[in-house]
Amino acid sequence: MDLPRILTSSAVASLLTLAACTTTTPATTTRSPAQAELSDSARALHENARLLASRADAEVRPAFTADAHELEQRSYDFSQAVASGRASDSELRADFESVSRSYHRLRNDVEQANSQQARADLDLVKGPYRDVAARMGEPDGAAGS
């Protein structure tokens, strides 16, 4: 065999090996339907909390605004942890506890404000929060929170 053929064969073999390596990388882990539903619910909670936080910026009550932004950040952290699929159950529960504390602080702000607008703003996150709580097996998911 002459040198050009050897080099061509080696190059082709190298390319085929490289192509095989790129197509045999492990697939992402498959998630159970319950994990996918929790991820969707967590994402919906974060999206609505982000909208609530942007609306809260127009409010004149600093505590409400701060608590709305805190809920947005906590729900983002939780959503990312769920979506990654790498967080342990105890880590997810701890993250959800942070979300829950923020939600209840915000709900208390709304009750103290006694404002129709504040209640309407809270309604943005109430349903998604209850959905996530129910999927996490928390009592808030079934309660009238």
Q: Give residue-wise pLDDT tens across range 63-92.
A: 889 999 999 999 999 999 999 999 999 999
32-140: CATH class? mainly alpha
Tell me the pTM.
0.74
Arithmetic mean of pLDDT, 101-118: 91
Angle at 66 between CA 78 and CA 48, to 5 degrees: 45
Q: Is the pLDDT of residue 115 over 80?
A: yes
Q: Would residue 137 be called left, alpha or beta, if left means φ above 0 and alpha means ψ between -120 and 50 degrees?
A: left
DSSP per residue over the chain, as a string?
--HHHHHHHHHHHHHHHHHHHHHSSPPPPP--HHHHHHHHHHHHHHHHHHHHHHHHTT-S-HHHHHHHHHHHHHHHHHHHHHHHS-S-HHHHHHHHHHHHHHHHHHHHHHHHHT-HHHHHHHHHHHHHHHHHHHHTT-GGGTS--
| Between residues 35 and 60, the one the model is more confident about | 35
In this prediction, residue 117 carries a pLDDT of: 85
User: Is the per-residue pLDDT at 1 higher than 70?
Assistant: no
